[in-house]
Structure 1
Amino acid sequence: MFEKLQRAFWKALTPDLVAETVLAEPAADALLAPAVLSALGGANNLKSQQRVALTRIRVQLQDPARVDEAALKAAGVAAVMILTGGVVHLITGQ
């Protein structure tokens, strides 16, 4: 009971930072422009995607080696952070 109340409290304070317990998988192009999607290796390379802030999108990829950083920059992505486990953070704004 306390944990539910605590999660609701933090969700109210920071709605974009506390993940929901049940996440519906968005369509492959819901958050990403077609040029960004192709620079990430196509829709079939995406495992998941999540907006974590107004200017950041976290994607998990099947094969992170297929990421074309130059194409992402040309598509308007300000910065790319490639982490372990196929996780990539796309910084989309200032």
Structure 2
Amino acid sequence: MFDKLQQAFWKALTPDLVPEEPKQSPAVEGLAPAIIAALGGAENLKSHQPVALTRLRVELRDVTRIDRAGLSVAGVMGVMMLDNGVVHLITGLQG
């Protein structure tokens, strides 16, 4: 905590000298790297959101880039393809 406060202080004093921390795109935040790769990479993801305890709704730019075998290896039990690049990943109860 102190480190972040100190970094914010120095960033305010010398904005050009303290580098910004890389931020993860909201489209991939909270997803496992294996699932992101199987969905065609971070650049292929528009958005994602949990729909239920066992399902994740993902919006993709290009659904043809999905690697179903990779999703299976990543722990996804099923894939439901919907219209307009929307895909539901059935994950089951993780825990």
TM-score normalised according to structure 2 size? 0.67
Partner residue in 2 for 1:40: 39
Q: Is the 8 A contact 2:38 2:67 kept in 1?
A: yes
Match in the other structure for 1:27: 26
Who is 1:62 aligned against? 61
**Aligned counterparts of 2:43 and 2:66: Cα–Cα separation in 1:** 13
Aligned length: 69
In the aligned structure 1, how far is the partner of 2:32 from the partner of 2:53? 15
Identity of aligned residues (%): 61
Corresponding residue of 1:20: none
Contact 2:48 2:59 in 1 (8 A): yes
> 5+ residue gaps in structure 1?
1-25
How big is each residue's C-alpha offset from its partner over 1:13-72, in whole Å with a ceiling of 9 and x where there is no partner? Answer: xxxxxxxxxxxxx72332310000000001110111111111111011000000011110
Of the structure 1 ranges 47-56 and 58-67, higher mean CA displacement relative to structure 2 is found in 47-56
Secondary structure, counterpart of 2:84 in structure 1: helix
Alpha-carbon distance in structure 2 between the residues aligned to 1:68 and 1:83: 16
Q: Which amino acid aligns with 2:41?
A: G
What residue is the counterpart of 2:84 in the other structure? 85
Match of 2:71 in 1: 72
Specify the structure having the higher radius of gyration (Cα): 2
Question: Any gaps of 5 or more consecutive residues in structure 2?
Answer: 1-24
RMSD: 1.4
